[in-house]
Amino acid sequence: MTAPTGEIYRIDWVPGTDVLHGTCHCGREHTAQDPVEMWEWMLAHPQGHVSDDEPRGADS
């Protein structure tokens, strides 16, 4: 097991929809219906953070 990095990735299901809402450790947000797409977007940090979603928090 590797040491913890302190980075927190969060994915929430939007109730009543098939939509997932993800928040990267940098504060950027993204929505998707495909969980694989969501994880690929998050783990591509900082590449892959170009989206139509408005950033919250620090820039990537």
Q: How far apart are CA 7 and CA 60, in angstroms?
A: 13
Assess whether pLDDT exceeds 50 at residue 57: no
pLDDT of residue 4: 63
Task: Tell me the per-residue pLDDT of 14-47, one tens digit each, with 9 for 90 and over.
Answer: 999 999 999 988 888 999 999 999 988 888 877 7
Q: What is the model's pTM?
A: 0.64
Phi-psi region of 51 (alpha: psi -120 to 50; beta: other; left: phi over 0): beta
Q: How far apart are CA 14 and CA 31, in angstroms?
A: 9
pLDDT of residue 9: 83
Assess whether pLDDT exceeds 50 at residue 60: no
Closest CA to 36 of 12, 20, 54, 51: 20
Closest CA to 9 of 21, 18, 54: 21
More confident residue, 49 or 44: 44
